[in-house]
Every structure is written in structure tokens, then in C-alpha cells.
């Protein structure tokens, strides 16, 4: 795929569902992952990038990529979903130059990956996804659709944190500024406020549980 032209890469990306369904698992996983990674490179054109993001935002396609990549794990394909594709999606999420529609689709693709732990293992979640979402919040710039996408992704991150008390440090400091986003209408504001309140309540409860546990008692 690296030597193929943009049209060939686009053909593989757009027919990913068929390839993943009909072709040999190892062959399909490698070729489709290669094409998606190529399409998400910084030097790829908007048409290629948008096609790849649309495919990764599709639950069926992402599930098939993960499943076939797992079968082909001996060829080193499995880990590329988290090491190549997710970081590339995160670059689009935090991009200052991508079009709004592209960034919205990138957030949808990231949300699909966050809903699938094999695609976003803990180290990728903490070191790649969270920094990208923190950058994305600062780039909302009066775009309610983007604010809602960011909210959805942070909600999924909060559910994946190893300790719920970490919401206080890793999620809420980035999410709370959305409450002051003037472009939100009343319904959108209520959605943000509701998630912030629910996360805060969950984190406080978890923190109290930590403090009440015998291991947290400090010697006098």
C-alpha cells in the first residue's frame, strides 16, 4: 500500500467492509490497516482522510478490523490499531487545520475506539487520547457540534479510568470550561452540566471510598 497511488489507497479504504468480510484474515487486516494508516498521514489529502475517518467511525468496520487484526496478530498487525490508527485519529481530533466536519468525524471515530478497549489500551488512553482531547477542548471556538463530540469522548474516557477518583484530575479540569461555552443552547448546556455533575458525584464517592479504606489510614 505504501507504493500505491492515492486512488488505489482510497479504493481499499472505501471497500474495507467487503475486504474484511471476504478476504483472508491476515491479508485483509494488513492491507486495510495499511491503507487506513496511509490515508490518515499528515500528507494525505482531505478526501482520503475523511474516507478513513468515516470507516473508523463505523462500529462494524472497526469491529472487523480489530477481529481480523487479532487473528493476524502473529504478523504484528493487531497492535497497529492502537499504535498507528488511534494516534492518527487523535491528530485529527486536535488539528488546528482540519475542517470542522473532519474533526467531528474524527471525534466519532475516537469515540468508537474508546468503546473498544483493544483499540485503546490503558497506555494509549492516558498518553495519546487524553492529551488530544485536552487540546480539542481549547479548539471548540463556538462550535456546539464539536463541544458535544468532546463531551461524548470524555464521558467514555471517564468510564475507562482505572480509578473513578482520577476523573477529578484527568477529566473534569478539561471538561468544566465547556460550561462557559457561549455557543451552547439550553439543551446542550444541560447535557454538559448533567455529565459534569454525574462525573463529580462518581469521583467524590470513589474518593470517599478510598479514604474510608483501611489502607488509606495514615499513622499518627
Q: Could you identify the residue written with the cell 447535557? A: 191
Q: Could you identify the residue written with the cell 474533526? A: 103
The distance in angstroms from the start CA to the end CA of the chain is 64
Query: Which three three-digit cell numbers place residue 59?
Result: 462500529
Q: Could you identify the residue written with the cell 463556538? A: 142
Per-residue pLDDT of the chain (220 residues; tens, 9 = 90+): 555 688 999 999 999 989 988 888 778 888 899 999 999 998 889 999 999 999 999 988 899 888 887 776 654 445 788 999 999 999 999 999 999 999 999 999 999 999 999 899 999 999 999 999 999 999 998 999 999 999 999 999 999 998 888 899 999 999 999 999 999 999 999 999 999 999 999 999 988 998 887 765 454 4
Q: Could you identify the residue written with the cell 471476504? A: 22
Q: Decide if 47 contacts 32 (C-beta within 8 A).
A: no
- As a whole number of angstroms, the distance between CA 101 and CA 10 comes to 19
Output the pTM of the full model.
0.89
Amino acid at each position: 500500500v505504501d507504493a500505491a497511488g492515492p486512488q488505489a489507497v482510497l479504493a481499499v479504504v472505501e471497500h474495507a467492509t467487503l475486504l474484511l468480510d471476504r478476504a483472508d484474515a491476515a491479508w485483509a487486516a494488513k492491507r486495510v490497516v495499511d491503507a487506513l494508516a496511509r490515508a490518515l498521514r499528515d500528507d494525505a489529502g482531505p478526501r482520503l482522510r475523511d474516507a478513513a475517518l468515516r470507516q473508523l467511525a463505523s462500529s462494524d468496520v472497526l469491529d472487523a478490523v480489530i477481529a481480523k487484526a487479532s487473528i493476524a496478530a502473529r504478523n504484528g498487525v493487531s497492535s497497529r490499531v492502537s499504535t498507528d490508527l488511534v494516534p492518527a485519529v487523535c491528530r485529527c481530533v486536535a488539528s488546528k487545520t482540519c475542517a470542522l466536519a473532519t474533526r467531528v468525524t474524527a471525534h466519532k471515530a475516537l469515540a468508537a475506539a474508546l468503546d473498544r478497549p483493544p483499540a485503546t489500551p490503558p497506555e494509549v488512553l492516558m498518553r495519546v487520547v487524553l492529551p488530544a482531547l485536552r487540546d480539542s477542548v481549547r479548539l471548540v471556538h463556538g462550535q456546539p457540534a464539536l463541544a458535544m463530540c468532546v463531551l461524548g469522548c470524555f464521558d467514555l474516557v471517564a468510564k475507562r479510568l482505572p480509578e473513578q477518583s482520577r476523573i477529578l484530575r484527568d477529566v473534569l479540569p478539561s471538561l468544566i470550561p465547556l460550561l462557559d461555552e457561549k455557543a451552547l443552547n439550553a439543551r446542550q448546556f444541560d447535557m454538559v452540566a448533567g455529565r459534569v455533575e454525574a462525573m463529580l458525584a462518581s469521583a467524590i464517592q470513589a474518593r470517599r471510598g478510598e479514604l474510608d479504606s483501611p489502607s488509606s489510614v495514615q499513622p499518627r
